[in-house]
């Protein structure tokens, strides 16, 4: 599997084979995504910044599983809404490149919310 479309097709078939399509509304998929993101966050809760870089073994496997759940629900949601997720992500990257010009961030370690012209793009 090398594309989000293939992943979405695979999971759509999984859902259809179990007659779960009636539960696959954008609202329900967005809510399920939120639940899975919460489960992902649990693995990092209370870790220091440095500890969060050192997730290994069974913990890393669990994080991978939660990331997969997030990706599946995200691709299903975009599929149900007819949104090309890769194209939308590229468009968002272009928007961010205009919104946060590289020359404004060469000195210091300003965060995006500290940029004076953040609403201008």
115 is a domain residue: no
Residue 118 counted as domain residue: no
Task: Let me know if residue 36 belongs to a domain.
Answer: yes
In Å, the largest CA–CA distance within the chain is: 55
Residue 112 is assigned to a structural domain of this protein: no
Domain count within the chain: 1
Q: Tell me the CATH number at 93.
A: 1.10.287.1080
54 assigned to some structural domain? yes
User: What is d(CA 51, CA 24) in angstroms, rounded to the nearest whole number?
Assistant: 36
Would you give per-residue pLDDT tens digits along the chain (121 residues)?
478 889 999 999 999 999 999 999 999 999 999 999 999 999 999 999 999 999 999 999 999 999 999 999 999 999 999 999 999 999 999 999 998 888 877 877 777 777 776 565 5
Is residue 116 a part of any domain in this protein? no
What is the span of the domain harbouring residue 75? 4-107
């Amino acid at each position: 599997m090398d594309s989000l479309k293939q992943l979405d097709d695979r999971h759509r078939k999984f859902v259809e084979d179990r007659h779960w399509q009636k539960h696959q509304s954008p609202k329900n998929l967005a809510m399920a995504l939120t639940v899975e993101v919460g489960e992902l966050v649990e693995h990092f809760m209370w870790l220091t910044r440095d500890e969060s870089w050192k997730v290994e073994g069974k913990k890393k496997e669990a994080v991978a599983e939660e990331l997969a759940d997030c990706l599946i629900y995200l691709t299903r949601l975009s599929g149900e809404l007819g949104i090309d997720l890769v194209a939308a992500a590229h468009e968002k990257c272009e928007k961010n490149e205009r919104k946060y010009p590289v020359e404004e961030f060469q000195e210091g370690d300003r965060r995006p919310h500290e940029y004076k012209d953040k609403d201008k793009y």
